[in-house]
Amino acid sequence: MSAVSVIPHSRPTLGPEDRRAVSTALTSSQLAQGPYVAEFEARLAGLTGAAGAVATSSGTAALHLALVALGIGPGDDVILPSYVCAGPLHAIQHAGATPLLVDCDPHTYNLDPIHVKRTLTRRTKAILAPHLFGLPADLAALLSLGVPIIEDCAQALGATYQGRPVGGIGTLGICSFYATKVITTGEGGMLLSRDADLLHRARDLRDYDERRTLRTRFNYKLTDFQAALGLSQLQKLPDFLAKRRALAAHYHRRLQDLPLITPFVPADRDHIFYRYVVRVTGGLKIMLTRLAQAGVTARRPVFRPLHRYLNLTGFQGTEEVWQTALSLPIYPTLGNDIVRVIRAVRAIFSGQAGDRSRQRIASKR
Ligand SMILES: Cc1ncc(COP(=O)(O)O)c(C=O)c1O
């Protein structure tokens, strides 16, 4: 009897053109930051409408650089959601600032601007706004608060908000190119801004070599062969996004009659479906186990909310979402395996289809 192959939760999409691009870059003697990095930066700036971009070794490094470029340090507060991975929190801690956690909107999973407004202090120097799972945060409401916005596009490269690409709308934006992100350089990141001074400061802080003055700088550079991979991946971004959207539409068609909540997309935003997250009321752990038994790797899309790490109470929306959110496999190479995922999910609910209205959360708009 042959074993059932396991469908991974996420996977990088690499082809022969990516391997060729890295190989060509490696034939030059320029391994560290060089012309491929400069081109990758220019392309990313062009794509997002930013005035410029600064490539970094990771998304967390880009977030840290963004905070330091804004002059944020000890005594300053930075707002961020509790419902996000620990990277953004670490960037704030590295800068020596105080993180102020805010609850999420359980419909979009992004920062709830009402909670943000209530949390603002006189010391709040930035709002770190992830576009979680590929859906842009409510940028208009956040920008109206008059505090610098750092758009965290680690999961949302290519998404649009009111017709504009994310990353170039806030004061600063960052991307991550970790192995399983929308496009990858293995590890890597990018800082974006429309503000030339902020870009200049971030560029100055990124590395330390041969400087006339001694201030505390970093080594947050991306290598040239990573940037060559990034450029090759970037060419395929439209195809990656089309495939993600087609897979999400397929999931939606085949799951919407089940008692789960499928993703909500406000009319003014475009979702790129970095993650396809559904919510199940009750039995999340059982569902994860049943899916694993069927060879489908599903996950909680956020491992642990930050308020739990920091032993803080409250955060009702985040708790509600964390205890019910399930992320199904979605990536450009998923292909026909989506049929197996859907079959496995439907098998769990067999007999319950048509019961959706019971657990549906009404749309806010
Ligand atoms: C929303 C978000 N922000 C920041 C990061 C940090 O990016 P990196 O892993 O490249 O440091 C991640 C990475 O997973 C992320 O998902």
Q: Is the model's pLDDT at 357 over the cut of 70?
A: no
Residue whose CA lies nearest to ligand 1 atom number 10 = 59
d(CA 71, CA 69): 5
Please state the φ and ψ torsions of residue 284, each to the nearest 5 degrees.
-60, -45
Digit-coded pLDDT (tens) for 58-102? 999 999 999 999 999 999 999 999 999 999 999 999 999 999 999
Best mutation site among 111, 176, 191 for ligand 1 pocket (most ligand atoms within 8 Å of CB):
176
Looking at the DSSP bridge assignments, the partners of residue 280 are: 260
Digit-coded pLDDT (tens) for 186-221? 999 999 999 999 999 999 999 999 999 999 999 999
Residue 319 · residue 349 · CB < 8 Å: no
The helix (H) or strand (E) run that includes residue 237 is helix 237-255
CA of 60 to the centre of ligand 1 (A): 6
Q: Which atom of ligand 1 is nearest to the CA of 131?
A: 1
* Positive or negative torsion for Cα 353, 317, 131, 96: negative
pLDDT score for 282: 72
- Percent over 90 (pLDDT), the chain: 93
pLDDT score for 2: 57
Average pLDDT, the chain: 95
pLDDT score for 246: 98
d(CA 256, CA 47): 33
Ligand 1-lining residues (CB < 6 angstroms): 58-60, 84-85, 87-88, 130, 152, 154-155, 176, 178, 189
As a whole number, mean pLDDT of residues 356-364 equals: 36
As a whole number, mean pLDDT of residues 16-21 equals: 98
* Positive or negative torsion for Cα 4, 326, 167, 202: negative
Q: Check 181, 221, 236, 285 and give the catalytic one.
A: 181
d(CA 122, CA 30): 47
CA of 138 to the centre of ligand 1 (A): 19
Which tokens go with 188? Answer: 């890597």
Residue 114 · residue 134 · CB < 8 Å: no
As a whole number, mean pLDDT of residues 159-171 equals: 98
As a whole number, mean pLDDT of residues 140-161 equals: 98
Q: Is the model's pLDDT at 118 over the cut of 90?
A: yes
Q: Which atom of ligand 1 is nearest to the CA of 130?
A: 1
Residue whose CA lies nearest to ligand 1 atom number 7 = 59
Best mutation site among 133, 155, 166, 184 for ligand 1 pocket (most ligand atoms within 8 Å of CB):
155
Active site residue 181: yes
Sheet-wide strand order for 172-176: 52-56, 189-193, 172-176, 149-152, 124-130, 77-81, 98-102
d(CA 208, CA 14): 33
Digit-coded pLDDT (tens) for 224-251? 999 999 999 999 999 999 999 999 999 9
Q: Is the model's pLDDT at 3 over the cut of 80?
A: no
User: Which pLDDT band holds residue 352 (cuts at 50, 70, 90)?
Assistant: low
Q: Is the model's pLDDT at 152 over the cut of 80?
A: yes
| Domains of the chain in sequence order | 16-235 (3.40.640.10), 237-359 (3.90.1150.10)
CA of 19 to the centre of ligand 1 (A): 24
Q: How many helices (H) and strands (E) does the chain have?
A: 13, 13
d(CA 346, CA 165): 35
Residue whose CA lies nearest to ligand 1 atom number 2 = 154
Best mutation site among 67, 78, 174, 178 for ligand 1 pocket (most ligand atoms within 8 Å of CB):
178
d(CA 149, CA 147): 6
pLDDT score for 351: 59
CA of 153 to the centre of ligand 1 (A): 9
Looking at the DSSP bridge assignments, the partners of residue 292 are: none
CA of 129 to the centre of ligand 1 (A): 12
Q: Which atom of ligand 1 is nearest to the CA of 62?
A: 11
d(CA 247, CA 330): 7
Q: Is the model's pLDDT at 16 over the cut of 80?
A: yes
The helix (H) or strand (E) run that includes residue 40 is helix 35-48
Residue whose CA lies nearest to ligand 1 atom number 12 = 154
CA of 189 to the centre of ligand 1 (A): 9
